Amino acid sequence: MISLLVGHRGTGKTQLIERMRFYWRDAAVDFIDLDDQIEKKIGKTIRDLFFEHGESYFRELERQLFLEILQSATRRTVIVAGAGFDLSVVPETVHVLWLRRKTDDDGRIFLNRPRLEPDMHPLEEFKARALVREQRYRTLSHQEYLMPEGVFENKHFAQTTEKNILSAQYKDVGGCLTILPEVFKSDFAWQLFKSRWHQKGIEHFELRDDLLSLEQMRKAVGDFTGEKFIYSFRKKPDGELLIAEEALVIAEKAALVDWPLEWGRLEIIQGLIPREKLVLSLHSTLTSLSEDLKHLSFLEDEVGHVKYAPEVSTYSELLQLHHWQEKKPNARSVLPRSPRGRWAWYRLLQKGQQLINFIKEGEGSAYDQPSLFEWLTTPAKAKRFAAVLGDPVYHSFTPLEHSDFFHKRNIPVWAVQITREEWSSAIQVLKELGLSFAAVTAPHKENAAQLCGSKDPVNTLYWDKTQWRGASTDEAGFLELTEGIGMIAPLQKEVAVWGGQGTLPMMKHSIPHASFYSSRTGKMRDGITHEEVPPKVLIWAAPRGSGTILPPKEWEPSLVLDLNYKEDSMGREYAQLCGANYTSGLVMFLAQAREQRVFWAQFTEEEPS
């Protein structure tokens, strides 16, 4: 079989194919990067080809080479294509794998790739093209792999999990998976879906009548022999509630039948489906959370199971749901929802703890469904967990970076969003739910310091069942990022720090002779009027936001050191604007993370294998 790997610019396709080469180094598989092949064939770099001949010329070369490879392929072949590859030339029998990351929607700024629309803002350039490309990926791909954020190098548990996902070697998966209509786009697409999911240990496949036709549902039930299904009524008729006879035939074959309480009239389905198979679900708040829970509790004796999946706004609401579910874990399932998927970590906490718990491949059917990678790296019935706490936090490398450390201790590590306003209530709820280890990001380092009685901001926490213990590893990471300038006082005078947030006290201690500027006003923080000398080194320490401004372009520093590793960082944007050399905050992050593991290791041991 021939597979084509596609995805947005900077998603990590080249790095993934290198890992795939390693995963299947002993297998008879050819791995081909179209960009590499074009450079070898033409004798020029991709950047030079774009500058000299334009994008259209490059795309035609890409298309021709792809078709040549298809003709000459004699064994299994995996091809990686550029983000703008013309998918219309791909035959229906080529497996198209769409590589995605959560940060795709944020855009990326590139310092080592040709600009396609140099007159546009770099993020607008990315997003304009990404919008069109994503529609093609969604229409023509057969499989989506939502890859975690971070660096896979030397992450053995993560690499094993990724290899199992890409080769569909997982088993005893558990959870529920909604079958989406796109898997029926062709017979080839359906066969690929079957090869990935049939007999992999999914507890239930969901058939939703608002997503699938009766023909598609019949095909799923007929082909997935030995599997269990949930038939979910979701397509409410305009007039009187009636159940079509054909739908009832499929529903009778399902292990569970989900009836939405929003429709009312439970008696319609009660006479047709055995009580023990009937699931009563509620997805919107009818009155209030408390009243809905009372109502569901009152009705649960009339059905086999109740499922509550409301939009949840606060940690206190989440805890209320949790307490309700844990009173009768065999009879109740809770699936909190949110507009941006902030409760995926809680659903992972409930792995193995409730009957109904959905996972997703690609987008899934709800934002808060955990990805397959997140699910497979989470042990069932976890008693405690680790997390990175921040806002935003979906982009964090922390879960992947610490995956081996916590896997050896049978502890999952997740990204948990906490806004500045909800810190006090959130940290208490998280502690009650089992949070034991935490990496803390802006804007919470001062709050974390208060928890453990520290005078300085804290980025690392451990709960020892009696008190919070804390440490800061920021300085160790910062010194590694700024190696050389921190020890030489005269050189520090040529350094400007833009922003600061929770790292400002640490930076003033490490490089006291530098100049410190507010990223909102552009003025020096000490209030003293200086003779401004353009810095040779700019340390970027500010978030992307409407209140953040760029330093003067006229400064033209030779080097930008960014405390942020995010690919849409304004520090990266400023380096591109003034042509400076650039160092990502990844250097600082990795050093911080190493020191965090040293701190946590004092309080926990690896579990015996």
Three-class SS state of 189: helix
- Superfamily classification of domain 382-472: Leucine Dehydrogenase, chain A, domain 1 (3.40.50.10860)
Q: How far is CA 554 from CA 360, 495, 535, 577, in A?
A: 48, 15, 10, 10
Residues of the chain with pLDDT under 70: 238-242, 527-532, 608-609
User: How high is the pLDDT of residue 238?
Assistant: 62
pTM above 0.85, yes or no: yes
User: How high is the pLDDT of residue 529?
Assistant: 47
Contact status, residue 556 vs residue 580, Cβ threshold 8 Å: yes
**E-assigned strand segments in 297-448:** 305-308, 332-334, 358-359, 385-390, 413-417, 435-440
User: How high is the pLDDT of residue 532?
Assistant: 67
User: How high is the pLDDT of residue 285?
Assistant: 84
d(CA 105, CA 131): 9
Is 2-155 a domain of CATH 2.60.120.260?
Answer: no
Which of 591, 563, 432 lies closest to 500, judged by CA? 563
User: How high is the pLDDT of residue 239?
Assistant: 53
CATH number of the domain located at residue range(s) 172-380 in this protein: 3.20.20.70
Contact status, residue 476 vs residue 508, Cβ threshold 8 Å: no
DSSP code string of 423-468: HHHHHHHHHHHTEEEEEE-TT-HHHHHHHHT-SS---EEEE-SS-E
Question: Do 2-155 and 172-380 come out as alike in CATH topology?
Answer: no
User: How high is the pLDDT of residue 588?
Assistant: 96
Which of 460, 485, 482 lies closest to 473, judged by CA? 460
Length of the chain: 609
- Superfamily classification of domain 476-591: NAD(P)-binding Rossmann-like Domain (3.40.50.720)
Listed by start position, the domains of the chain span 2-155, 172-380, 382-472, 476-591
Contact status, residue 387 vs residue 413, Cβ threshold 8 Å: yes
User: Tokens 């353009």 belong to which residue?
Assistant: 534
Continuous segment of H or E residues that includes residue 489: helix 489-492
d(CA 467, CA 107): 41
Phi-psi region of 273 (alpha: psi -120 to 50; beta: other; left: phi over 0): beta
Q: How far is CA 193 from CA 163, 180, 361, in A?
A: 17, 10, 11
Residues 6 or more apart whose Cβ sits within 8 Å of residue 182: 138, 189
